[in-house]
Structure 1
Amino acid sequence: MKKILIVETNVTSYGDTKDATGLWLGEATEFAEDVQKAGFEVDYVSPKGGFVPLDPRSMKYVDESIMNFYATKDFQNRALANSLSPSEVNPDDYVAIYYAGGHGTMWDFPEDEALQKITIDIYQNNGYVTSVCHGIAGLLNIKDNKGNYLIAGKTITGFTRSEEILAGKRSVVPFLNKVEAEKRGANFKEKRAYKEFALQDDQLITGQNPFSAHAVAKLLIQNLK
């Protein structure tokens, strides 16, 4: 059976503050549930492996579907308590990789060379590289075998400046996704704040915000079917 790898953050706070962050729950559960219903298996990986914290604010935006998936033993065990470490992952096993968001990703995704290697291997095996919201942080520094940024010349999206302002986090985030993406030659596209938006450019599929996980999953499934 074809498998999809979901990447999650291990970061528990905004930098050196005591303000809690972590994985945005719905961005993992909604995507995972959609692709599993379509017949794909999922695995969960994080930079350090093991425990994955939840952004407490994400619990304010849950519906019955998110809560039901969150409550399953499989998700509790494999996604939150015992996520894989990069060293346990064989890229050849996966047809796609998905970077879930939550502000914590801005601190541990960008410089993780092991995850970058897994991602480029999946991509070069004709797999898909996908992200939603702050998960775009995992795409920023991926380079191909020629040393070129994977996102260079590609149209992508992610959490926007206006959304950071509305979230009250503009002053604490270490960078802005659009600024960093454009530095690497990407074409960053955005729509209205907190409205569902996902787009595809070749093997890259990206979503703008927490309300775009379903849209990313839908595009990926269409390509894999």
Structure 2
Amino acid sequence: MTAKRVLIMCTSANKLKDVDTGCWAEEVCAPFYIWKKHGITATIGSIKGGEVPMDDASLNPPFLTKEVEEFLLDDEAMKGLTESVPLADAKVADYDAIFLPGGHGCVADFPDNAALIKLVEEFAAAGKVVAAVCHGPNGLVNVKGPDGKPLVAGKKVTGFSNAEEYAVAKENLVPFMLEDKLKELGGKFEMAKEKWASHAVVDGKLATGQNPGSSIAVAELVAKLLS
């Protein structure tokens, strides 16, 4: 049996308006190792390809996790992050799932990206797994399901909550609050009782996680869907 393959599609934006940001390291590194443990191959892509911009905060305490530390010392894994596959070269046929990690960078280059929307719609139409964590669901807000309705409509879904956005004081920086947008699209938004607690949900072939700490949980859901 051939190994299952996941495309991790990252942001290429290192700024949101005039604030430095990028991809949130934990949301790439933790799933990468979870899938490796399950014998699933993860390929890192990004909107523009090449080096993925990382949010500095995610590479330093208190947000530096053991998975991120391990990843930074893993030459092969790091090569994936510095030589990521451009979105333009990503083909649905090569993968069993697409995963959108967050970081505020993706707020800038995910929602209205026609090529990303088309790619995610192709994954959904092919009955493949679509997954996202934290701000990653920004890449789902303009995606239609095979029925022509918003992909998240009528589905259990989660993402970075309003309470968490206010907690990081970025509510005036983002073009919309992700929780509000997912609800507006008909998503059945779920969240943890407390801010920053791990929370991941699955509905059919759609798996989403609430915040950086939900990365492992959503990666495990994806592994289960691919098993």
Pair 65,51 (structure 1): closer, same or farther in 2 beyond 3 Å: closer
Give the corresponding residue for 1:151.
152
Q: TM-score, normalised by structure 2?
A: 0.93
Shift of 1:146: 4.7
Alpha-carbon distance between aligned partners in 1 of 2:38 and 2:108, rounded to the nearest angstrom: 32
* Farther-moved stretch of structure 1 (139-148 vs 52-61): 139-148
Q: Does 1:179 align with 2:180?
A: yes
Contact 1:129 1:204 (8 Å CA) reproduced = yes
Contact 2:12 2:105 (8 Å CA) reproduced = yes
Please list the CA deviations of residues 5-26 of structure 1 after superposition, one character each: whole Å capped at 9, or x if unmatched.
00111111121x1x21001001
Give the corresponding residue for 2:37.
37
Give the corresponding residue for 1:95.
96
Alpha-carbon distance between aligned partners in 2 of 1:218 and 1:87, rounded to the nearest angstrom: 28
Contact 2:135 2:159 (8 Å CA) reproduced = yes
Shift of 1:147: 3.0
Q: Which residues of structure 1 form unaligned runs of 5+?
A: none
Which of 206, 209, 214 is the aligned partner of 1:207? 209
Length, aligned pairs only:
222
Shift of 1:35: 0.5
Shift of 1:145: 4.7
Alpha-carbon distance between aligned partners in 2 of 1:14 and 1:108, rounded to the nearest angstrom: 9
Tell me, what secondary structure is at the counterpart of 1:45? strand
Give the corresponding residue for 1:54.
54
Shift of 1:91: 0.3
Please tell me the residue identity of whatever aligns with 1:88: D
Please tell me the residue identity of whatever aligns with 2:197: K
Alignment of 1:1-225 (within 5 A): 1-15=3-17, 17=18, 19-59=19-59, 60=61, 61-79=63-81, 81-191=82-192, 192-225=194-227
Alpha-carbon distance between aligned partners in 2 of 1:220 and 1:144, rounded to the nearest angstrom: 19
Please tell me the residue identity of whatever aligns with 2:111: P
Please tell me the residue identity of whatever aligns with 1:7: M
Contact 1:10 1:52 (8 Å CA) reproduced = yes
Contact 1:2 1:93 (8 Å CA) reproduced = no
Q: Which residues of structure 2 form unaligned runs of 5+?
A: none
Please list the CA deviations of residues 111-144 of structure 1 after superposition, one character each: whole Å capped at 9, or x if unmatched.
1121222222222222111011000101111113
Alpha-carbon distance between aligned partners in 1 of 2:150 and 2:164, rounded to the nearest angstrom: 25
Please tell me the residue identity of whatever aligns with 2:101: A
Contact 2:33 2:67 (8 Å CA) reproduced = no
| Percentage of pairs with the same residue | 33
Alpha-carbon distance between aligned partners in 1 of 2:157 and 2:147, rounded to the nearest angstrom: 21
Tell me, what secondary structure is at the counterpart of 2:196? coil
Contact 1:92 1:125 (8 Å CA) reproduced = no
Q: TM-score, normalised by structure 1?
A: 0.94
Shift of 1:31: 0.5
What do you get for the CA RMSD once the two structures are aligned?
A: 1.3
Task: State the 4+ residue runs in structure 1 displaced beyond 4 angstroms.
Answer: none
Please tell me the residue identity of whatever aligns with 1:157: T
Tell me, what secondary structure is at the counterpart of 2:111? coil
Alpha-carbon distance between aligned partners in 1 of 2:149 and 2:65, rounded to the nearest angstrom: 41
